[in-house]
Amino acid sequence: MAYRTKPLRPIQLIFSSSAFALLLLLTLGTVITLWLHADIGFQLLVSDWAIIKFTIFQALTSATISILIAIPAARALSRRKFKGRQVVLTLMGAPFILPTIVAILGILAVWGRSGYVSEFLQKIGNDPINIYGFYGVVLAHVFFNIPLATRLIVQGWTAIPVEQFRLAAQLGISTSGIGRHIERPMLRTVVPGAFLIIFLLCISSFAIALALGGGPKATTIELAIYQALRFDFNLAKASQLAMIQFSLCAILGSLAIFITKPINFIQGLDHEIERWDGNEIHHKIFDILVLLIVCLFLFLPLFSIIIRGAVPLFTLPALVWIAALNSIVVAVISAFLSVGMAISMSIFIIKMSYKLPIMSKAMEIISFLILASSPLVIGTGLFILTFPFISPFTIALPMTALVNAAMSLPFSLRMILPAMTNAENQYGRLADSLGMNDWARFNIAIWPRLRRPVGFSIGLAAALSMGDLGVITLFAPPDVATLPLVMYRMMSSYQLTGAAGVALLLVSLSIILFWIFDRGGRLEHKIR
Amino acid sequence: MSIKLDNVKISHGKFSLQADFEIEKGKKIALLGPSGGGKSTLLSAIAGFKTPDSGRIFFENTDITSTPPAKRPIALLFQNHNLFPHLSVRNNIALGITTTLKLSLKEIETIDKALLRVGLDGLGNKMPSELSGGQQQRVALARCLIRKQPILCLDEPFAALGPALKKEMLDLVQEIAETTNATLLMVTHQPDDASYITDQTILIAEGKAHRPVTTNKLFANPPAALAKYLGN
């Protein structure tokens, strides 16, 4: 009997059903808990409406600006050959694993009250910039999302068949004609999806609003949930806000699933550039200027972290090192949990697809439900669930690991499920025809094709968890912290030099974790 | 003499190709050889998409080695992606006359005649996605027809079509080349295609493009490199 039609073995069944049960608890379970606790009868206050309006408005502004800058940047990267192009493209991927709080410190070093730009403005007799509030939140969101938007749009350009540019060159179509006939039709298919992803990310951003926003004029829903829970201990209010946040994200998330093309993380964007247009001098100058400005905007804050953090890195207090250890343990556990869940769920989904296709599809959709939730929404739900039995403060670190694992699950699943499906389709039959037993089958036919996405997913999940400043803020007592939380506490008490040292440590650890696992997946990797 | 390649050397990574030959005007020529042998690379160099490392390319005694693709006397047909998916059939053909797509009545008439010639009468308003693969290639051929370039290059244009349909298309290509008095260069890895419509064949294998030889003679008495490719 072929493997695929065999029933699940008991051990597989236990693993996959507990993975699904955990997922359902974290998504639907927390939402139902919130719903039962929320003040549904209560009218929303004027201040609540202000928070909702601010959340949507800042996200719209941030997404629009990010896309408007990303389009010319992606075009320049797609039609110019230059030394360092590959470096720029690689670094464009970096903000994805860059801890938010580190980036905020870097942005402050450039744009803050005593940053480079303000210093310059004061020298020529102007007031320094006030970065806190709406502009700061938008600036930080744009910083984070330009690279993502650029990457998504460069993918669109890369996907244009080279014949189309050759054809255009043959027919003598001008640069603007190429824009009209080739590039704009591509953008019309790529930009809506990219916009929606960024809009969604900005709606549920917490750390940026925490550090740069706040006050009645610049509070996002996520920040308001945190304040209701942590400062007012108002569970009903926190639940109500969390329900609003969940509904908003659920609508946008389901839109995004339909509109968005899958993001391509592993495959390089390096292909040979064959272009015969854009040779006029004003095109060249424009492209160079765009790339120069974008690179300065993105890399200046990062350089400032390295420069300011290098010296204090060696005089960090002991509590920082304890927090670092906490962070590493949380990151590794949550990464393995996330990928373990993704693998068990993939096995289940693939097996089901032969017998009960509808069930399999439903499982797949449920596993992306987490996209509709946010760390603070899940965190609030878990807080309410655990609060009657145990002090939430004593389980701060396990909760953080759990929620971080859930948050990186959609990424892990998007990497692992297609890889496993392909391996099954391409080599599963061959393995069956050779009569391999279950272990040999997995070891020879499936695992070699899974190693690379698994390594990458563990690395990504570990780095994301390492830099996370979300659910830990809800649960942590004053004497327990992860590295991002220590950094945030130092920044709040204006110990900026120390914070720069922690930032450098944090970003180095994130990169090292990502590198170790990603590398592990590639070692002895001879299949193509 | 139509095209002359004078000691041309093209390289791409570890791959390199040498070519040194002349092609007579109005001949129909197959570029034949194993895949990865450099057939398409050679065509790319002639069409201006790849610059040779050394050597010169001439068209009727004019040096075109560094002429941009649009200024070369060439109409080209790829295996796929010959049409812009968001433009109608008529507009796709119109790109061969003007890239602004502002057409006079006379030009529309020319396009409709070309459609008739390739057997797609009345389909001018269709979108490429509404046509079959073979019909799409006919549209692209109609564009080659109205461009009236002295050289017509085809890069494995019918590899995805069945045998009967392919013969039909090859007949159409022959007809178009003869009407426009064009020199035909066709990349293929099928010996049958080569002997079906071409006068001469350029064998491309093991890093070298050989001089054109009469196709029938070549197959009657294949040299070592060709015998190896044909497998006899």
Q: Tell me the mean pLDDT in the region A30-40.
A: 82
Pairing mode of beta strands B28-32, B183-188: parallel
The reply to whether B129 touches chain A by the CB within 8 Å rule is no
User: What does the pLDDT read at residue A260?
Assistant: 63
The reply to whether B13 touches chain A by the CB within 8 Å rule is no
What is the band of A268 on the pLDDT scale with cuts at 50, 70, 90? very low
This complex has an ipTM of: 0.79
In chain A, whose CA is at the least distance from the CA of B91? Answer: A181
- Asked whether residue A387 carries a pLDDT value surpassing 80, the answer given is yes
- Cα-Cα-Cα-Cα torsion A426, A427, A428, A433, nearest 10 degrees, comes to 120
Identify the three-state secondary structure at position A320.
helix
- Asked whether residue A526 carries a pLDDT value surpassing 50, the answer given is no
CA distances from A273 to A400, B49, B223 (A): 44, 11, 38
In chain A, whose CA is at the least distance from the CA of B97? Answer: A171
Whether residue A264 sits in one domain with residue A384 = no
Q: Which of B49, B86, B99 sits opposite A185 (nearest CB)?
A: B86
In chain B, whose CA is at the least distance from the CA of A275? Answer: B49
CA dist., res. A131 & res. A213, Å (int): 9
Instruction: Identify each DSSP E strand in A283-423 by its residue range.
Output: none
Q: Please count the other Cβ atoms lying within 10 Å of the Cβ belonging to residue B65.
A: 16
Whether residue A172 sits in one domain with residue A147 = yes
What is the band of A527 on the pLDDT scale with cuts at 50, 70, 90? very low
Distance from CA of A178 to the nearest CA of B (A): 10
List of chain B residues whose C-beta atoms are within 8 Å of the C-beta of residue A161: 80-81
User: What does the pLDDT read at residue A423?
Assistant: 86
Q: Contact A163/B99, CB-based, under 8 Å?
A: no
In chain B, whose CA is at the least distance from the CA of A160? Answer: B81
Instruction: Give domain B1-73+185-232's CATH superfamily.
Output: P-loop containing nucleotide triphosphate hydrolases (3.40.50.300)
A139-185 pLDDT, tens per residue? 999 999 999 899 889 888 888 888 888 889 888 888 888 888 889 98
List of chain A residues whose C-beta atoms are within 8 Å of the C-beta of residue B96: 171
What is the band of B35 on the pLDDT scale with cuts at 50, 70, 90? confident
A490's enclosing H/E stretch is helix A483-492
Whether residue A282 sits in one domain with residue A374 = no
Whether residue A377 sits in one domain with residue A505 = yes
Give chain A's length: 528
Domain boundaries, chain B: 1-73+185-232
Distance from CA of B111 to the nearest CA of A (A): 16
Whether residue A344 sits in one domain with residue A255 = no
Distance from CA of A218 to the nearest CA of B (A): 44
CA dist., res. A447 & res. A439, Å (int): 10
Beta carbons of A246 and A32 less than 8 angstroms apart: no
User: Which structural domain range is residue A242 located in?
Assistant: 46-309
Distance from CA of A161 to the nearest CA of B (A): 7
What is the band of A126 on the pLDDT scale with cuts at 50, 70, 90? confident
A416-452 pLDDT, tens per residue? 988 898 888 878 777 777 767 777 788 788 888 888 8
Q: Tell me the mean pLDDT in the region A297-316.
A: 89
Whether residue A271 sits in one domain with residue A171 = yes
- Cα-Cα-Cα-Cα torsion B159, B160, B166, B170, nearest 10 degrees, comes to -50
Kindly state whether residue A439 falls inside one of the protein's structural domains: no
The reply to whether A185 touches chain B by the CB within 8 Å rule is yes
Whether residue A410 sits in one domain with residue A305 = no
CA dist., res. B126 & res. B89, Å (int): 6
Whether residue A355 sits in one domain with residue A291 = no
Distance from CA of B48 to the nearest CA of A (A): 9
Q: Quote the pTM value.
A: 0.83
Q: What is the CATH number of the domain that holds A130?
A: 1.10.3720.10
Boundary-marking domain end, from A309, A333, A363: A309
In chain B, whose CA is at the least distance from the CA of A163? Answer: B81
Q: Please count the other Cβ atoms lying within 10 Å of the Cβ belonging to residue A311.
A: 12
* Percent of chain A surpassing pLDDT 70: 93
Sign of the Cα torsion A192, A194, A200, A202 reads negative
B65-121 pLDDT, tens per residue? 988 888 899 998 988 888 888 889 999 999 888 888 888 999 999 999 999 999 999
Boundary-marking domain end, from A309, A337, A367: A309
List of chain A residues whose C-beta atoms are within 8 Å of the C-beta of residue B71: 172
In chain A, whose CA is at the least distance from the CA of B95? Answer: A171
A219-244 pLDDT, tens per residue? 999 999 999 988 888 888 888 888 88
Whether residue A54 sits in one domain with residue A20 = no
CA distances from A238 to A245, A489, B24 (A): 10, 23, 83
List of chain B residues whose C-beta atoms are within 8 Å of the C-beta of residue A276: 68-70
Whether residue A249 sits in one domain with residue A218 = yes
| Overall number of domains in chain A | 2
Q: Which of A161, A181, A274 sits opposite B81 (nearest CB)?
A: A161
Q: Tell me the mean pLDDT in the region B40-45.
A: 90
User: What does the pLDDT read at residue A4?
Assistant: 55
- Asked whether residue A398 carries a pLDDT value surpassing 80, the answer given is yes
In chain A, whose CA is at the least distance from the CA of B147? Answer: A171
Q: Contact A170/B75, CB-based, under 8 Å?
A: yes
User: What does the pLDDT read at residue A341?
Assistant: 93
CA-angle at A287, arms to A282 and A288, nearest 5°:
100
Q: Which of A163, A171, A274 sits opposite B70 (nearest CB)?
A: A171
List of chain B residues whose C-beta atoms are within 8 Å of the C-beta of residue A173: 70, 95, 99
Whether residue A101 sits in one domain with residue A71 = yes
Boundary-marking domain end, from A309, A332, A362: A309
Kindly state whether residue A420 falls inside one of the protein's structural domains: no
The reply to whether A159 touches chain B by the CB within 8 Å rule is no
CA dist., res. A15 & res. A13, Å (int): 6
